[in-house]
Amino acid sequence: MQPAVAGYVTLTGPLQIDLLRQIIVNLPTYYDIFRYQLDVSCFRPVASLNDALSHLPVSVLDMQPAVCPRLEADNWIRRQMNRSLPDQQCAEFVLLTIANNEYRLFIRCHSLLLDHTGFNLLLRYVANDYTRQVAGRQETELVYSYVKEIAPARLYLTSLAYTEDRYYWEKQLSERPRPLLRRQEPKDAGSGVVSLPLSDELSHMLARVAAETASTTESLLLAALTLCFARTTHQATCLFGRTVAGRQTKTQRETLGRFDRTLPFQATYNPGHSLRKMIRLIRNQHRADNGHRAFPVGQFARLLGRDLATEPLTDVLLTHVPHDPAVQFAELSNQVYPLNEQAATVPFQLFWHDAKPDESAYMQAVFQLAYLNQEEGKLVLNRLHHILTQFEQRLDDLVTTIDILPAPQSTYRPWLAVNSPCSPFPAVWQ
């Protein structure tokens, strides 16, 4: 199944359906990102610009005949998230009618063309344009071209900056650690999803630790991942991936398209370091890596000796999901509900969602069942949660003393599919 960014907006009130459809249908006129077509016949889908594409299809589905229209709408969205986008289609827009003056606008875009920030910008544009036209105002938003952002990216490959970045990453990735997870099933076995809400107390504690160590939540998560996998796999160096924002300029921050990218992060587990020192080193490396974020993912694969046609760049990927957009449709009450990825693109991907006014922060793991079964995915997530709960009280303790096993797992001894030279169980379970 193709990876996508998706969500839906609840709309309550006198919605002007024809106006909303017109705004969406005409999106390619203003945003060239929607004039791309996808060729999904390749191992990695290829996007090509087609200026003949001037309209987007919008479907309207009536859920009112169902016994429970809201439940039927929820089930329809759930089923749709488990299906691939139609061939050569980069986006899908469906308006679900639940009752008189109650609707849900479902939007899904291929992640090759939009990242999470781009998806939020799309929602903001649709809401602002709808509000403007309802009010009868003539002004339009300033629109930035994604195509114009691609040309400088191509010039980068012949620039001095590319040479400097390549030298930096060759030095960073000179050591090639073993993969962290071992494939258990030869064929694709689908994906598993596990979510774990975090208490407000834990969220506030992590914010205090981040402030005290002058780091970020992402640095703390990388420290937890390092503790978990280094001690489970018995290797001092672990290679993770992390999703970073690629919007460096003011223009890019307002441009619909995909700018985020995956950077490898090589973490070192040193038994003589305190937790505070580990976090500080991760923070420093994190900042240094960000200065060389333009390096192409295909070049990373060559440096690491990975064939992206048969194996991922990294088998553990960390993604920090941005806040939901604050949008408002004229004369309507609305709420945005992002939908999480259901298809794993790497063996194990950890999503971090920040707290919202009406929802606590939470972690979500999306993983390939060929590597981890559902129970093992849940165990890893619980283990990371347990490690994070100790950070404030044990900042100055040696990393070897941090407990990585929650009490319920202390006697649980299944084979977690880690790539450890020890047999049959990693030492932390002895």
Whether 60 and 105 have beta carbons less than 8 Å apart is answered as: no
* Cα-based distances in Å from 353 to 132, 203, 231: 31, 11, 26
d(CA 203, CA 217): 10
pTM reported for the whole predicted model: 0.84
pLDDT of amino acid 429: 29
pLDDT of amino acid 317: 93
Between helices 297-304 and 160-172, what is the axis angle to 10°?
40
State the DSSP string of 161-187.
HHHHHHHHHHHHTSS-PPPSB----SS
d(CA 384, CA 423): 23
In the three-class reduction of DSSP (H, G, I as helix; E, B as strand; rest coil), residue 149 is classed as helix
Rg (CA), the chain: 23
d(CA 101, CA 277): 56
Of 379, 371, 415, the closest CA to residue 184 belongs to 371
pLDDT of amino acid 425: 31
The continuous run of DSSP H or E covering 117 comes out as helix 116-134
Residue 284 amino acid letter: N
Between strands 58-62 and 91-99, the pairing is parallel
First vs last C-alpha separation in the chain:
39
Which neighbouring-strand residues pair with 110?
Answer: 4
Residue matched to tokens 């544009």:
125
> Under 8 Å CB-to-CB from 222, ≥6 apart: which residues?
240, 242, 265, 267, 282, 286, 318
pLDDT along the chain (430 residues), means of 10: 80 94 90 75 57 80 93 91 74 92 92 85 92 86 82 83 91 84 78 89 93 94 95 90 85 86 91 95 93 84 74 86 81 86 81 80 90 91 94 94 75 44 33
d(CA 420, CA 426): 7
In the chain the domains, ranked by start, together with CATH numbers, are 4-143 (3.30.559.10), 175-325+340-413 (3.30.559.30)
Whether 29 and 54 have beta carbons less than 8 Å apart is answered as: yes
